[in-house]
Amino acid sequence: MSNTVQTNLNLVKEKALEIRINSLKMIHAAKSGHPGGSLSIADLLSSLYFGGHMKYNPQNPQAEDRDILVVSKGHSSPAVYSTLGLAGFFNIEETINFRKLGSPFQGHIDSIRVPGVEISTGSLGHGLSNANGFAIAAKLDNNKKKVFAILSDGELQEGQSWEAFMAAAHFKLDNLVAIIDRNRIQLDGWTEETMALDSLEDKLKAFNWNTLVIDGHNPEEIDQALNKAYELAAANNMPVAIIANTVKGKGVSFMEDQVSWHGVAPKDEDLAKALEELK
Amino acid sequence: MGAAIESSSEKIATRAAYGKTLLELGKENKDIVVFDADLSGSTQTKHFAKEFPERFFNMGIAEANMVSTAAGLAKAGKIPFVSSFAMFATGRAWEQVRNSVAHNHANVKICATHSGLTVGEDGASHQIIEDIAIMKAIPSMTVIVPADSVETEQVIRAVAEYNGPVYVRLGRAAVPVIYDDNYKFEIGKADVLREGTDATIVATGVMVSRALEAAQIASSQGKSIEVINVASIKPLDTETIVKSANNTKKVITAEEHNIWGGLGDSVASAILENASEKVSFKRLGVNDLFGQSGKAEELLEHYELTAERLLSLV
């Protein structure tokens, strides 16, 4: 993997805020969607796209030297579409048609309709396998691109996730960084009450992954962890998992850590209040 | 019309032809990568694995991960061939085939062996008779069932050329060679193997040779039977099938699959929607039963997937 990336942390913070604001506007306009998990990954997406960690080309989304991001938690589509819009893959104003008939902005991220989305997801537990596929392909081509995957914590209850963790280590996919959005909430409640995942780091270590645990809302920590990940992967030729401790609904006080905001759209007054807080 | 070698007694398993063709394709196209789930000896991907170890991935006994990983490689421009037993490649990993592969228009070829009753002694847990139904129900999925080794080679070459998700249903048991080397398979085309006027047998897979056998016996009894091999179950060659149905006004379908959701249902729909004549119609398949252990040949007899049974229906 390539060396340390220099990051403009102010830009990352600014873009993360824009991702949050646009995501909420999209979900409000659609009257449906998933605010909680979009807000929890806004800082991670911003670091990847605007912190200099991902190489991409909006004019040529399929450019051979681009880095790859697989977002396995396809329901966080508002944050992903907002990020890609801000990155210049399309006019971000179009995302206001999210979830409407005929709009490219499907409820769960769609690779056929939206430039910059590498692979459609939505059914949980597929994404790390998909990312492994991209990582294997890059190795076959001797292409030095990086492959990132953003996984939800809840989806790690799917057995396929662990098949994929096992395979990534088996094939020594040192071009792969998986970031786990550890917001500890899933649709029915807390992950630890629904189906406990802890100790997640121990499980990943047991699967022979490098691990890092960070505050997933601190741009400096995210930046440092990504740089550290490239080093670790290069040092032992193994993939890296970054457990990003996050807060579901982060940035909007009444949504934070609230199970009820997993998949509910803000009403007019909720949106106004949220935008006021985010300003 | 295909060139049928009716006197041939040579028998080759379609999986053997698959393994051989995959090895040849590997030499011709560097983008071809192969995945298996701990069954490379049985599925015959071992030949490719030996020659191209860097492009062969044994994924262990984890079919869901295998299929979704292949989708990632396809999105990165590779042409993954994915093999396991049909039970697991289509049944265990159906949701991955649907969401990771088909919904992404990923150029993945699911070439699964050991389909149907002719798996034999392993019994019902491994004898999938539902795969055609569950694969053809997926939007944009192409479904192909070759009848012999010659057609298998043609099919594997055709699907490698075609850009899109495909399911190819292959078998464990050796089956009679029907075609000679002049045969050319095309996706979406059925092959009229034998022309006739009194009835049409529309068959797929291992039942094609049995349909030819039935037609031959019928001929000695003064009956003229048309035999159509439908390897391309989806897309279906409605034109060829309906034309024959209008001519003979009697159609019998034959397949090593549950009568529900297989070739028979597709042919029935095609005729009901398109035939101008009144056509009598019967399906021969596994009559909504699970299989059991036994030799391939014995199982086909036991479940009445025979030339004799076809004769009784024409």
pLDDT in tens, A3-15: 577 789 999 999 9
With contacts defined as CB-CB under 8 Å, which chain B residues touch A137? 72-73, 76-78
**CA atoms of A215 and B33, how far apart (whole Å):** 39
What would the two tokens of residue B241 be? 């099938």
- Cα(A25)–Cα(A97) distance, integer angstroms: 10
- What is the tens place of the pLDDT at every residue in B16-39? 999 999 999 999 999 999 999 999
In the predicted structure, residue B4 carries a pLDDT above the cut 60: no
**Across residues B46-72, what is the average pLDDT?**
98
Q: How far apart are the C-alpha atoms of B310 and B314, rounded to whole Å?
A: 6
Q: What is the DSSP letter of B4?
A: B
The pTM (predicted TM-score) of the whole model is: 0.97
A118 in contact with B at a CB cutoff of 8 Å? yes
Write out B33-51 in H/E/C secondary structure.
EEEECCCHHHHCCHHHHHH
Please give the torsion angle defined by the CA atoms of residues A229, A233, A235 and A238, in that order, rounded to the nearest 10 degrees. 140
DSSP B41-108: HHHSTHHHHHH-GGGEEE--S-HHHHHHHHHHHHHTT-EEEEESBHIIIIIITHHHIIIIIGGGT---
In three-state secondary structure terms, B203 is strand
**Burial of B52: CB neighbours in 10 Å, binned 0-12, 13-18, 19+:** middle
Which amino acid type is present at position B172? R
Q: Do B104 and A68 touch (CB under 8 A)?
A: no
Specify whether the CB–CB gap between B211 and B190 falls below 8 A: no
Q: Say yes or no: ipTM exceeds 0.85.
A: yes
**DSSP 8-state code for residue A53:** -
For residue A167, the chain B residues in CB contact (below 8 A) are 59-60, 62, 65, 69
The question of whether B63 is a catalytic residue gets the answer: yes
Contact yes or no for B76 and A129 at CB 8 A: no
Q: In the structure encoding, which two tokens stand for residue B42, read together?
A: 């049985």
Of B65, B80, B105, the CB nearest to A160: B65
The CATH architecture one would assign to domain A9-278 is 3-Layer(aba) Sandwich (3.40)
Q: Are A64 and A57 in contact (CB under 8 A)?
A: no
| Nearest neighbour of A129 by CB, restricted to B33, B65, B80 | B65
Report H helices in chain A. Answer: 9-30, 35-40, 42-50, 77-86, 127-140, 159-170, 191-194, 200-206, 219-236, 268-278
Which one-letter amino acid corresponds to residue B297? Answer: E
The widest CA-to-CA distance across chain B, in whole angstroms, is: 58
User: Six-digit token pair at B168?
Assistant: 């190819």
**Closest by alpha carbon to A183, among A74, A258, A122?**
A258
Closest alpha carbon within chain B to A118: B75
A238-272 burial, b at 16+ Cβ within 10 Å, e below that, comes to bbbbbbbbbbbbbbbeebbebbebbebbbeeebbe
The identity of residue A194, as a single letter, is T
Task: Say if residue B5's pLDDT is above 70.
Answer: no
pLDDT in tens, B72-101: 999 999 999 999 999 999 999 999 999 999
A72 contact B CB<8A? no
Q: pLDDT tens digits for chain A (279 residues)?
A: 555 777 899 999 999 999 999 999 999 999 999 999 999 999 999 999 999 999 999 999 999 999 999 999 999 999 999 999 999 999 999 999 999 999 999 999 999 999 999 999 999 999 999 999 999 999 999 999 999 999 999 999 999 999 999 999 999 999 999 999 999 999 999 999 999 999 999 999 999 999 999 999 999 999 999 999 999 999 999 999 999 999 999 999 999 999 999 999 999 999 999 999 998
Interface residues from chain B to A (CB-CB < 8 Å): 33, 54-55, 57, 59-60, 62, 64-65, 67-78, 80, 95-96, 99-100, 103-105
Residues of B in contact with A145 (CB under 8 A): none
CA distance linking residue A222 with residue A204, whole number of Å:
19
Mutation target among B54, B68, B100, B107 for the A interface, most CBs of A within 10 A: B68
Q: Which residues are CB-neighbours of A227 under 8 A, at least 6 positions away?
A: A4, A5
Q: What is the dihedral of CA B36, B37, B43, B48, to 10 degrees?
A: 30
**B211 token code pair:** 């349909």
Q: pLDDT tens, B177-232?
A: 999 999 999 999 999 999 999 999 999 999 999 999 999 999 999 999 999 999 99
Question: A119 vs B72: CB contact, 8 Å cut-off?
Answer: yes
* B28, two tokens: 């011709």
> Which one of the listed residues B63, B213, B226, B256 is annotated catalytic?
B63
